């Protein structure tokens, strides 16, 4: 998969350095992945939440942080929409 929006991840990690290792691990796995359907994502990330319009929310660092992405399975692109703390996630609108 091609990951677009890496700068959002980097900016967030500069403010929240404790999640950097988990973000880097997710990024490496996403770039190596060839997700064709949501089931492919669910097979690796059992606790991911699937929203409308191919949006997926990943839990990072034991649910302390959330990563919101949009996946285009056909073009093999993951667009990073936002990343935030669990508290911030509670106010996100989808």
Q: Domains of the chain (ranges plus CATH)? A: 2-89 (3.30.2310)
Residue 93 is predicted with a pLDDT of 87
Q: Terminal CA-to-CA distance of the chain, rounded, Å?
A: 23
Residue 83, classed as helix, strand or coil, is: strand
Is the pLDDT reported for residue 88 higher than 90?
A: yes
Each residue of 54-87: pLDDT tens digit? 999 999 998 899 999 999 999 999 999 999 999 9
Residue 35 is predicted with a pLDDT of 97
Tokens of 30: 């996403």
Each residue of 14-63: pLDDT tens digit? 999 999 999 999 999 999 999 999 999 999 999 999 999 999 999 999 88
Residue 94 is predicted with a pLDDT of 84
CA separation, residue 68 to residues 44, 54, 82 (Å): 16, 11, 5
Scanning the structure block, which residue is given the tokens 């911030």? 88
User: Rounded distance, CA 91 to CA 94, Å?
Assistant: 10
Residue 7 is predicted with a pLDDT of 96
Residue 34 is predicted with a pLDDT of 96
């Amino acid at each position: 998969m091609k990951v677009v929006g890496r700068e959002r991840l980097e900016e967030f990690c500069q403010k929240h350095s404790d999640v950097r290792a988990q973000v880097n691990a997710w990024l490496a796995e996403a770039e190596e992945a060839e997700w064709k359907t949501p089931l492919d994502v669910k097979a690796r990330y059992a606790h991911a939440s699937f929203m409308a319009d191919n949006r997926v929310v990943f839990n990072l660092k034991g649910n302390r942080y959330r990563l919101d992405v949009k996946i285009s399975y056909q073009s093999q692109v993951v667009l990073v929409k936002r990343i935030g703390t669990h508290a911030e996630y509670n106010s996100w609108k989808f």
